Amino acid sequence: MTDYQEHPEEEKNENDEQEMYEHHRFVSDKGQGMLRIDKFLMARLENTSRNKIQNAAKAGNILVNDTPVKSNYKVKPLDVVSIVLAFPPREIELIPENIPINIHYEDEDILIVNKEAGMVVHPGHGNYTGTLVNALIYHFRDLPMQNNEPVKPGLVHRIDKNTSGILLIAKNELAQTRLAKTFFDRKIDRLYHAMVWGDLKEDEGTITGHIGRSLKNRQVMEVFPDGEHGKHAVTHYRVLERFGYVTLVECKLETGRTHQIRAHFRYIGHPLFNDETYGGDRILKGTTFTKYKQFVQNCFKVCPRHALHAKTLSFIHPATREQMSFNSELPDDMQQLIDKWRHYAKHKALEEDPEPADDTLGENPE
């Protein structure tokens, strides 16, 4: 990722770690001579090929004064130039691995995967093998070469290791570039199902608050309500089913920040069930009755990860321009978790001790 020093002619890269694109904005100076925009951008973007810039123009991802232009446009003095590019590849050797993956849909341009919980999306620190990308490279091994290179999975977003569900992959650079712009323009609908601690007061609501890395622990994301750190983040939710001490919710993302749903619900006092990072792996609501404690421990064993599933994804196809929508069933661990709580809620009046437990969340896990 290219980071820039701030100065009047340029804004910082606005990509987010969950959405795999980068956005750059430049203002040409007063003495700018007539220069093709692809050459103008080549001089300002590191590690970016001319072919990639031309693909961005073809996809409508290069704008001058908020209007899409072709790659032969001549830049003029004080033009405001912006470009959205697919995220650049990491400097990591990508090894094909024959790992089973659940392919939901595939055509010449895109692939939809229903990712299992526990699988890392992209190789990185501590996870150089066994990832979804390693599996996809193996899956693509028989496809025709592109630009004299094997086809590589084009990531445009990702979900956490222990989050299950729908993930969209581009199979060529043009599709990846167009989808990057789709995410940047927020023209994609994503619905998640999550189990959270507590009984939400409202049937639906919106959580707004900047999200950024915690100033105390870089592995954890924190909500900064005053916007002094992090990036703008919005999560809409509605209650699907109430079980007394936990609630099943549907979440619609307006933005795509790292750990957005997990951090936002921790911020409002309702961490995701069994979310170790954000304090949901303790009994936060309920009674002191021994049977209840054992019941919750059994629930932790049934769903041994944070209870979050990327259920649906809707977007415009990068090649056909048709509206597409995909839905995935809840995995067994979350379905069993819901069934257990549903049964418990139905019978809890007969099983519980009347003495309540401490409902406070305790210290911030960060």
Which residues constitute the domain of residue 48? 10-86
Note the pLDDT of residue 5.
26
Residues 158, 213 within the same domain: no
**Residue range 112-135, pLDDT digits in tens:** 999 999 999 988 767 778 999 999
Note the pLDDT of residue 362.
43
Residues 79, 57 within the same domain: yes
Note the pLDDT of residue 151.
77
Note the pLDDT of residue 11.
34
Note the pLDDT of residue 146.
72
Residues 167, 296 within the same domain: no
Which are the catalytic amino acids? Answer: 160
Q: Which residue has the tokens 């619609």?
A: 252
Residues 255, 331 within the same domain: yes
How far are the Cα atoms of 42, 114, 302, 363 from residue 274, in angstroms, in the given order? 47, 21, 10, 16
Q: Are the C-beta atoms of residues 83 and 184 closer than 8 Å to each other? A: no
Note the pLDDT of residue 118.
94
Model pTM score: 0.81
Note the pLDDT of residue 349.
53
Beta strands (DSSP E) in 116-218 are: 154-155, 164-170, 189-197, 204-208, 210-213
Residues 115, 202 within the same domain: no
Beta strands (DSSP E) in the chain are: 10-11, 21-27, 35-36, 62-64, 67-68, 74-75, 80-86, 103-106, 110-115, 154-155, 164-170, 189-197, 204-208, 210-213, 221-224, 234-242, 246-253, 308-316, 323-327
Give the burial class of 224: count Cβ atoms within 10 A of its Cβ; 0-12 exposed, 13-18 middle, 19 or more buried: middle
Q: Quickly count: other Cβ atoms within 10 Å of residue 161's Cβ.
A: 15
Q: What is the CATH number for 130? A: 3.30.2350.10
Note whether residue 234 is domain-resident. Answer: yes
Q: Are the C-beta atoms of residues 185 and 169 closer than 8 Å to each other? A: no
Cα–Cα nearest to 35, from 76, 63, 66: 76
Note whether residue 91 is domain-resident. Answer: no
Residues 277, 260 within the same domain: yes
Kindly give the parts of the chain with pLDDT less than 70.
Answer: 1-19, 87-92, 125, 147-148, 349-366
Note the pLDDT of residue 350.
53
Note the pLDDT of residue 91.
55
Number of domains in the chain: 3
- Indicate the residue among 184, 215, 246 that finishes a domain: 184
- Indicate the residue among 184, 218, 249 that finishes a domain: 184
**Residue range 66-91, pLDDT digits in tens:** 998 998 999 999 999 999 887 655 55
Q: What is the CATH number for 56? A: 3.10.290.10
